[in-house]
């Protein structure tokens, strides 16, 4: 691999991190610097999740957001040789890589089944397998590091990339397409509802005026910075993050998909089954909290988490992306 300078800087140039089996120790070296290796993802709140999910040998489990497979790997170990895990992911690129990685660890199709779909369609996936439900269900609602770090996926404004942001790159619209057809009023509402953006009206009008000219992630980021030029840098960058969050949620219809999952949850959990959801912003957490509380009042859930579980100081230091994570759980009656 040829690259300028003494160290590879671009995502695609970090060949050692993309092939850790050929470069032993590289992942530990990168993580020791407080960074996430390119092409991988550090699972969050692993021990806390295992404690509340309490997977037992022989049970059926569902990882509704497979991602890199870090949580799934630990669940598979706990389920023992007679347990089965179904992993879902809408991203065809990452699903194929994660399935190959888990297969290489010795988990054959009798132990691990992978399906490409988002978790709103989990009931169909269970029916296809002939499962009447699951004992354990996990959904990590965060964007994976593999998606965030790859400029070609268009989730981040750190480097120039196409204005995409799709979890499933085969499904339209992309972020660019969505911004080209949304009007200022709808965009303002999305910025308020999805990200609590205080400058929603101002930014929505500015983005509408630039309709058709926003092509890359840097185009959108620079537009936000320019509109908020009289605010300090910290406030501007916070708004850039919120705008990207709001657009990503809209493009992937994330709140509607989450609400479908929450409605399906009582039907797919077996009696005594445990569910745990990891959320990363207030809109998600509010929906999960409300659904769990209503389920407990209705007698659907025997117990729920009364408080969120957050990453401790050590995990936040070692993996800064864990900082906003909130874990809530429920146990079926």
pLDDT tens, position by position, 49-102:
999 999 999 999 999 999 889 999 999 999 999 999 999 999 888 899 899 999
The rounded percent of the chain whose pLDDT value lies above 70 is: 90
Mean pLDDT of 146-171: 89
For 34-188, where are the E strands, in sequence order? Answer: 60-63, 84-89, 112-116, 134-140
Asked whether the beta carbons of 47 and 73 are under 8 A apart, the reply is: no
Q: Is 162 exposed, middle or buried (0-12, 13-18, 19+ CB in 10 A)?
A: middle
Asked whether the beta carbons of 135 and 56 are under 8 A apart, the reply is: yes
Report the pLDDT value the prediction gives residue 19, as an integer from 0 to 100.
64
Considering just the CA atoms, what is the radius of gyration of the chain in Å?
20
The token pair at 34 is 């407080």
Rounded Cα–Cα distance for residues 24 and 26 (Å) = 6
Mind listing the domains of the chain with CATH numbers? 46-145+255-332 (3.40.50.150), 152-253 (1.10.150.170)
Mean pLDDT of 19-29: 68
Asked whether the beta carbons of 251 and 187 are under 8 A apart, the reply is: no
């Amino acid at each position: 691999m040829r690259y300028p300078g003494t160290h590879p800087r671009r995502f695609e140039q970090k060949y050692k991190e993309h092939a850790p089996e050929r470069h032993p120790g590289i992942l530990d070296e990168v993580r020791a610097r407080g960074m996430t290796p390119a092409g991988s993802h550090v699972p969050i709140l692993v021990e806390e999740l295992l404690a509340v999910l309490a997977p037992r040998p022989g049970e059926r489990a569902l990882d509704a957001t497979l991602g890199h497979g870090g949580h799934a790997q630990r669940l598979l170990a706990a389920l023992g040789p007679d347990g089965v895990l179904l992993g879902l992911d809408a991203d065809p690129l990452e699903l194929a890589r994660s399935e190959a990685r888990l297969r290489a660890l010795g988990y054959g199709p009798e132990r691990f089944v992978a399906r490409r779909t988002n978790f709103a369609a989990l009931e169909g996936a269970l029916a296809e397998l002939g499962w009447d439900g699951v004992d354990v269900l996990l959904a990590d609602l965060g964007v994976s590091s593999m998606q965030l770090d790859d400029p070609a996926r268009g989730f981040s404004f750190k480097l120039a990339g196409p204005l995409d942001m799709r979890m499933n790159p085969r499904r339209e619209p992309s972020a660019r397409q969505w911004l080209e057809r949304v009007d200022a009023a709808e965009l303002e509402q999305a910025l308020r509802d999805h990200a609590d953006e205080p400058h929603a009206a101002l930014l929505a009008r500015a983005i509408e005026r630039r309709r058709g000219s926003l092509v890359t992630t840097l185009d959108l980021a620079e537009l936000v910075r320019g509109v908020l030029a009289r605010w300090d840098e910290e406030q501007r960058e916070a708004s850039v993050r919120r705008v990207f969050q709001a657009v990503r949620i809209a493009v992937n219809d994330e709140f509607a998909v989450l609400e479908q999952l929450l409605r399906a949850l009582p039907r797919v959990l077996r009696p005594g089954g445990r569910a745990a959801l990891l959320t990363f912003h207030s809109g998600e957490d509010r929906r999960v909290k409300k659904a769990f509380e209503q389920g407990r009042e209705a007698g659907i859930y025997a117990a729920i988490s009364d408080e969120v579980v957050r990453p401790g100081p050590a995990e936040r230091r070692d993996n800064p992306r864990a900082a906003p994570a909130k874990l809530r759980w429920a146990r079926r009656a």
